[in-house]
Amino acid sequence: MPTLAIPNIGAFEIELWTQGSGAPLLFLHGYERHPGGAGFLQRLADNRRVLAPEHPGYGSSTGFEQFHDVLDVALYYRELIESWDIGEIDVLGHCLGGMFAAELAAISPQLVRRLVLVNAYGLWLDEQPTLDPFGRADDVKAAKWHAGPPETEPTNFVPDPADPQAAILFQARNLGSATKFMWPIADRGLRRRLPLVDAPTLVVHGTSDGLLPESYAQEFVRLIPDAELGLIERAGHYPMVEQEDEFVSVVEKFLAA
Amino acid sequence: MRFHWFAQQYYTKLPSDYGDTVRSGSVTPPVSVADPAQVGADYHTYIRLMQQADGLGWDSLLLNEHHQMSLAMTPSPNLIAAILAATTENAAIALCGNSLALYNPPVRVAEEIAMLDCLSGGRVISGIVFGTPMDTAFSYGVPPIELRERFHEARELILRSWKATEPFAFNGKYTKLRYVNPWPRPVQQEIPMWIPGTGSVETWDVVNEFDYCYGYLSFSGKQSAEPIVKGFWDYTAGQGANMNPNRMAFTQVICCADTDEEAEREYADAVKYFYRQNPTAIEFATPPGYVSQQSIRANLERGKTISAAEREQATRGELDFWEYDRLGYIIAGTPERVEQRVRELVTELRIGQLITCMHVGNLPEEVAAKNNHLFATQVIPKLRDIWSDQEDRWTPKVSQERIAAKFGADAAALSA
């Protein structure tokens, strides 16, 4: 696994999925897990170099305990991008990864060429409180999908025949790390920093998302100076899974501009 | 050995179908079922029973902290402790405990414990707890992944503040204070420290490192607790840490009566109320990040001594009264029977601090008062000598001396 050492902070071992060549695209995954080599990532890698690191504290990626707050995460991704020595990069962030991507774009505008946020966390609207993403498992599962849960959700989990508890521990570790930034309310002050985002931004939103209502996407568009809304119908929290074709085409079109 | 008086401070007038119709007795219990005047009456009942226990020779009066719970209306145990500190003579006041991670700054806990120690003349036991997931993660909104780190930072700050003779600066990750100097400081130079837990290995590491008393506080009794309590002692022996039985506190529901038949008649309804009127929602019990990977694994792999079906029946109030007794949820019957069963429990599991739960559910006050009387006069005197060869640094000296003088073997001989 690649290792990133940040002076004065420490080392991070990173599970990194990477494929393709051309203009670089950083993908930051959501609160549940890294999707592994999911279909939408493969297709985005047809035309560009996709770099999809797993967040520290997820799966087998380490260094999470060195984060004090979300600023540390943004600076960590800045260091990671700079370590690749590729200059500007397009950034696609989903869910919790959307919160991180937006923070990164606000703090390091020189690094982010174009920004795509997909059903992103980071804001809170009093008039439309969201479902607790750590609430009753059945409620969360039902809320995520437009057409009901698929047979398997995209994941980078690799079963270990020697360890029957591995799946439970994988899930517990991932969601436990997410609580640092999303518990009890997934608002760490991003609202005050979104006006600092320079990158042209596409706010993609699966309109049937029971975790995050469409009004949250509209609020991102309102707060980011140069942002447009890309709604995807018949999709919930994972539009890249439920409407893969439309998702890839919308993102490709925006990034090609 | 020591006896600590305790009652889970239930609301006593829950609707009869509460356990079946309400999703959760914690975090989101419907407040509409509770009449504040009745809550006040319930508090007075518990306080009177504890004052009675002080006069009967219990070693401490023990309180716990819970939030947004219909089965434990003690969001601030220190408030009840203040009343007890001012109106009792002998027993220690055991806070079991304050949920350190919930207070900002945590010196608030250092101040209140010190106030109580002064007020009671050095009779405080300071239990410190992580707090249940329902209390900490849901009711008080602490990200579960930060809970343990916040707890330990607070613990260090509090202990240091009690000992410091000069104001000091504390630059923690979660708490920053330029001038730490709580007034007053406690009477006791070494306040007895307890940490109750639910079997997490990392808690065992902490209590062993600092030689605290560990508490396994469940209401499921011996059979179900055995793997955890024995697990603790095996772990402790393996670490070469202190095997003194006075380092183990354990909760046991006691239902004492003149005859076994009377016990069933007087307690059966309240025992069912206690177990049944406590609906637990799974989503509030296991938030991600609350326990470590190591503890999840240990819990998954730990042997179970009670079947899932039995546990389910027990929490639905469906077990027969004597089935609760057989599984150890309660110890019921005549003083002779209770004595024999408690002796077996504390010797087999190496328990030096027995937390006797003398009131359950909606038990009438007069039954609990009789429970107190029978247990104190006919059971405690026969059991007090267990582990008496072992040092006890986990209860306050003042209480030890006063109780020995008034209720010990010598006092009994004098009065005879």
In A, minimum Cα distance to B139 occurs at: A184
Q: What pLDDT does B414 receive?
A: 60
Structure tokens given for A159: 């079963």
- Among candidates A155, A145, A151, which has minimal Cα distance to A243? A145
Structure tokens given for A2: 């690649």
Q: What pLDDT does B46 receive?
A: 98
Average pLDDT, chain A: 97
Contact A25, A50 (CB under 8 A): yes
Domains of chain A: 3-256 (3.40.50.1820)
Q: Is A90 helix (H, G, I), strand (E, B) or coil?
A: strand
Inter-chain touch B293–A179, beta carbons under 8 Å: no
In B, minimum Cα distance to A176 occurs at: B289
Total of domains in chain B: 1
B296-351 pLDDT, tens per residue? 888 888 877 778 888 888 888 889 999 999 999 999 999 999 999 999 999 999 99
Inter-chain touch B293–A169, beta carbons under 8 Å: yes
In A, minimum Cα distance to B149 occurs at: A65
Instruction: Catalogue the long-range contacts made by A212-220 (C-beta closer than 8 Å, 24 or more residues apart).
Output: A212/A119, A212/A120, A212/A121, A212/A130, A212/A237, A213/A128, A213/A130, A215/A125, A215/A128, A216/A120, A216/A123, A216/A125, A216/A128, A216/A130, A217/A119, A217/A120, A219/A123, A219/A125, A220/A102, A220/A117, A220/A120, A220/A122, A220/A123, A220/A194
Smallest Cβ–Cβ distance between B296 and the set A168, A184, A185 belongs to A168
ipTM exceeding the 0.90 mark: yes
Q: What pLDDT does B299 receive?
A: 84
Q: Is B249 helix (H, G, I), strand (E, B) or coil?
A: strand
Q: What pLDDT does B309 receive?
A: 85
In A, minimum Cα distance to B301 occurs at: A165
In A, minimum Cα distance to B289 occurs at: A176
A64-94 pLDDT, tens per residue? 999 999 999 999 999 999 999 999 999 999 9
Inter-chain touch A165–B137, beta carbons under 8 Å: no
Q: What pLDDT does A100 receive?
A: 99
- The alpha-helical segments, DSSP class H, found in B71-131 are 77-87, 107-120
How distant is the Cα of A68 from the closest Cα of chain B, in angstroms?
8
Smallest Cβ–Cβ distance between B283 and the set A136, A178, A185 belongs to A136
Q: Using alpha carbons only, what angle is made at residue A148 by residues A143 and A153, rounded to the nearest 5 degrees? A: 90
Distance (Å, whole) CA A103 – CA A98 = 9
Structure tokens given for B320: 């027969």
Residues 66-85 of A with CB under 8 A from B: 68
In A, minimum Cα distance to B288 occurs at: A176
**Residue to test with chain B: of A55, A71, A132, A183, most B Cβ within 10 A:** A183
Q: What pLDDT does A253 receive?
A: 98
Residues in B closer than 8 angstroms to A134, CB to CB, are 283, 287-288
Give me the total of CB pairs closer than 8 Å, taking one residue from chain A and one from chain B. Answer: 61
B252-305 pLDDT, tens per residue? 999 999 999 999 999 999 999 999 999 989 999 999 999 999 888 888 888 777
- Print the domain residue range for B308: 2-415
Report the CATH number that the domain containing residue B335 is assigned in CATH.
3.20.20.30
Q: Is A60 on the interface with B (CB under 8 A)?
A: no
The DSSP H or E segment spanning A92 is strand A89-94
Report the DSSP beta bridge partners of residue B170.
Answer: B177
Inter-chain touch B288–A168, beta carbons under 8 Å: no
Residues in A closer than 8 angstroms to B290, CB to CB, are 176
Q: How far separated are the first and last CA of chain B, in Å rounded? A: 22
The low-confidence residues of chain B, meaning pLDDT below 50, are none
pLDDT band at A182 (very low <50, low <70, confident <90, very high): very high
Instruction: Give per-residue burial for B167-194: e unless 16+ CB within 10 Å, then b.
Output: eeebebebbebeebebeebbbbeebbbb
List CB contacts of B7: < 8 A, sequence separation 6 or more.
B46, B49, B357, B358, B359, B360, B368
- How many of the other CB atoms lie within 10 Å of CB of A150? 11
The DSSP H or E segment spanning B319 is none
Residues in B closer than 8 angstroms to A56, CB to CB, are none
Residues in B closer than 8 angstroms to A184, CB to CB, are 137-138, 141, 143
Contact B224, B243 (CB under 8 A): no
Contact A251, A204 (CB under 8 A): yes
Residues of B with CB under 8 A from a CB of A: 137-138, 141-146, 173, 281-283, 287-290, 293, 296-297, 300-301
